[in-house]
Structure 1
């Protein structure tokens, strides 16, 4: 599943599918970066030199539906939400105006699978892993990630403080995600974790008390508990194990665009844009207990 760094404020909470869809032109112009863009990701990354799927256009993909706070109103083309804003910021660095960006809808597990892609890059909370890098390319990280456990307020694990307290719980996550890996590798429950095709299916299972807890990335956890399932609570965030988990833009394996896209992300980090977008869309304050 699509799948953060520090906790979010509930006052700023803003929450991955279906089969491949054909690329469609954006239907509304985003408000980000209205000025004429300049290709600044590197000397060899000028727009006219980039071998994109469609000359003069940049095709960006994400899942369907696209959840808040990563996107707003399930409309990636509106420039609203953290990942939509990041996509347009990267496009601008590569020399593409908002009108030059088209969007494709691609299921999460399809995007990470080997094989040709119908996009130039995909932004969908893809955690960078060595296993995935055998099948696809990733850009430099654009966001550090923490995973969190949510549960019904009256459920058996609400208020628990340690990983040991969760080992007897029935937990679930979306298939093929690092949220699922966090269950098996960090929590290590005694019961087999439940796997769902989408986050919507997983949330329904939680609502129906078919599972005791659901693992998602932290921003999504704040959105679910604050705006969708208000009778649930964040039990806590999971500790990082090894190197920090990070989101990267996903590209086809050995894509000729990878270096230029990474260069754009690196520039956005260096000039403070990524931090500004995090502050706007993923408002960070102390909040979720760290489970130990």
Structure 2
């Protein structure tokens, strides 16, 4: 869309008549159009003129882009009540699209920018890992490949079990839950990424059992053999539905391989991810919100 339109000729077809452009549109009309655009589209239009910039700042435009329970999300995102009270709806949207840590920094949520849908990541340090306190089996290792800057690394164990839970007022919708895992120990040497595979064993003998349960009786179960060393992979556990954001939904999840006829090792556990179902995680968009 261009920033202007052609001149409107006078009644005699001669030039010199007053030129009109997009900037001459009433701000209220522009705002009505913006109600049908996604947030990045609104931000792009805001660059066209002062009128578009004013319309793009309207609270009634941005309130339609926010989740129904945005006040609850804002409460989780910040403890500064004075600051929250002074934010416009546009600023609230931008605030919630950023990384919002909670529960001692072991969990985070954010809104994806295009539709304002909730995403969540739960660190390995918030999970209940069998044997995590015994350094013969597990260690936390620092890495730049995790949003939380460390992962739990398994050298060897007989009984493998990684459980967790989250209780949260999710906006209504269907969500998918994943474990983010990596076979092998990633590191860097001479600025190059390398992967140590010396401890990888046992995952091709029996599949891992993934499960989730919700407080309203939903259950999902899946089995998968772990493979593809050297790559971070999101293993899909299952989906769950949220009908209302007024009541917290408790989600419990589990990952097990407890066949004690063989040991398992060489695995990094980074996090558990909860995304809106159908979100194209592999898409890397260069668009940004200039809020």
| Smaller-chain TM-score bracket | under 0.3
For normalisation by structure 1, the TM-score amounts to: 0.25
Larger radius of gyration: 2
Greater share of strand residues, 1 or 2? 2
